[in-house]
Chains A and B, each alone.
Chain A
Amino acid sequence: MSLRRMFLPTAMLLLIGWSLSSAGAQEADKAKVRARLVADTVEVEPGSTFWLGVHFEIEDGWHIYWRNPGGAGLATAIDFELPDGVVAGPLRWPLPIAFTQSEGIPGFGYEGAVVLASEVTVPEDFDRSRPSRIRAEVSWLACKSVCVVGSAELEESLAKLSADPVFRTWDRTLPRVLGEGIPLFTLTTTGGLAGGTVTHWLRWRKTPKLVEWFPDPSGALDVENVRVQTRGGLTRIDAAVRRRKGAEGSTDDLSSLVVVTDEDGGRIGWELTVNLKNQES
């Protein structure tokens, strides 16, 4: 049997969709999202690492959400249950797209298909001879003109993993860390919480076709009135920032993604983190 076979035909897959609407009952009466467990390895060796994730296939016209869904929506969630000693790292999120959910309410997420995955570390003393299963509890909100909550419980034996083709190009969909590789821009930031506005200034080596910005603030931080302007080789990203009154959580930093699209439609993104306390106001 091919090593590149999809390894989940035998996996337990339970899809649950709750919420139908009178306006969209016909649209929402079947699953809009299919989820399956995927890995990038065949052999799980003691002391090794591999990528384990969920491949979401989303029906045309529908979307699911990034880690910050935007003004409304719900982040997609995956909870891995792994054998003793096997540890999953943080979920890696490919570059999202931006859409308008309803008059002026921004949304960030995915259309078509996406893989969300974690790097899994296998301990040195891992006993491969013992039967081991991996399990993922997955939940998402899928929206079009209506929204449907979906969930799946995915399960598979570690011994039956196969290297899924979705991982061949997956790393190209991930954001880069600022400072890795040849810098395509220099970043300067001004403003902060004290002044109520933070501005990212990006000076590009080559004038970009399109620049997008995806804020990912803590729950205590409100980010609104985002405006991205690119003129020549300079992009200015303004955002109003303020602490929600009484909300728990840090507002020291603002994490975000900046994504540039080239003439061929290719997208590259970088993770940015700005300290809101120390910026000039």
Chain B
Amino acid sequence: MKHWMRTLMYVSVLMIAVPVVAGEGVGVGESAPDFTLTDTAGNEVSLSDFEGKTVVLEWLNPDCPFVKRHYKAGTMKKLATTYGGEGVVWLTINSTNYMDAAANAKFKAANDLPYTILVDQSGEVGHLYGARTTPHMYIIDGSGELVYIGAIDDDPRGGKGDGAINYVAAALDQALAGNAVTTAETKPYGCSVKYKK
């Protein structure tokens, strides 16, 4: 009992002295914060340019083996093409500190990507959204609300083949049908985003 009382006294003191700091990033159900970045051609692109549309944000680092595997398999390109036909906008953001517009343009050309790569060398937008891994996926519905945050699929080791569940495809299907996204959050996997120090 005495031990408990002492503990509670420490609790009181410490809770006053050191409050827990809130984490950065965004959460499912929140409004997606607007941002403006430049694409590989130097054009400014803002999230608000796509008001009313469903938008997918993909965090990219072409040097990351997980990203390489998905690009070799065409995962992102197939999704962007398939759902692009239904009006979904695909924006890829590269927050890697050492990758400038030219490096991203080279990757876009080499992979013949039909979507925009936005350059975020400062990491400002990555930190704004709390992007931790490459890939790290976000889906914003037509009302501007985040409806999915997490991994691209349930196959971090890449061994499931056709049995893998693509969380982004599943979430887009539900969101486009006007339904709530069932699996709205998953733990992202991949390399850490190589932010500027």
Contact = CB atoms under 8 A, between A and B. Distances in A.
Interface of A: 18-19, 21-24, 71-74, 77, 101-105, 107, 139, 141, 143, 145-149, 186, 188, 190, 197, 199, 201, 203, 219, 222, 224-225, 227, 229, 231, 234, 236, 238, 240, 244-248
B120 to A, nearest CB: 13
A19 B187 CA distance: 22
Given A72-B133, A229-B14, A247-B185, A147 B7 contact: no
Given A188-B7, A225-B23, A227-B18, 9 more contacts: A72-B188, A72-B193, A104-B24, A107-B192, A199-B11, A225-B21, A227-B20, A244-B186, A247-B185
B154 to A, nearest CB: 9
20 contacts: A18-B68, A19-B64, A19-B68, A71-B133, A72-B132, A73-B192, A74-B157, A103-B197, A105-B192, A139-B157, A188-B4, A222-B187, A224-B23, A225-B20, A227-B18, A236-B11, A240-B23, A245-B185, A246-B185, A247-B183
A23 B65 contact: no
Contacts of B192: 71-73, 101-102, 105, 107, 143
Nearest to A68: B187
A190 B193 CA distance: 33
A225 B22 contact: yes
A21 B63 contact: yes
Contacts of B189: 72, 74
Interface residues of B, number: 47
Contact of A245 (B28, B196, B197): B28
B144 interface: no
Q: Is the interface of A mostly helix, strand, loop or mixed?
A: strand
Contact of A105 (B7, B11, B68, B132): B132
A244 B187 contact: yes
Interface in B62-106: 62-66, 68-69, 98, 103
A105 B157 CA distance: 21
Contact of B63 (A24, A101, A190, A222): A24
Contacts of B184: 244-246
B194 A72 contact: no
Nearest to A201: B7
B185 A72 contact: no
Contact of A103 (B7, B186, B187, B195): B195
Contacts of B190: 72
Contact of B14 (A102, A224, A236): A236
Interface of B: 3-4, 7, 10-11, 14, 18, 20-24, 28-29, 62-66, 68-69, 98, 103, 123, 127, 132-133, 150, 156-157, 181-197
Contacts of B193: 72, 102, 105
A23 B194 CA distance: 12
B195 A102 contact: yes
B185 A71 contact: no
Nearest to A148: B65
A74 B127 CA distance: 21
A219 B22 contact: no
B14 A231 contact: yes
Chain A CB count within 10 A is highest, among B24, B182, B193, for B193
A188 to B, nearest CB: 6
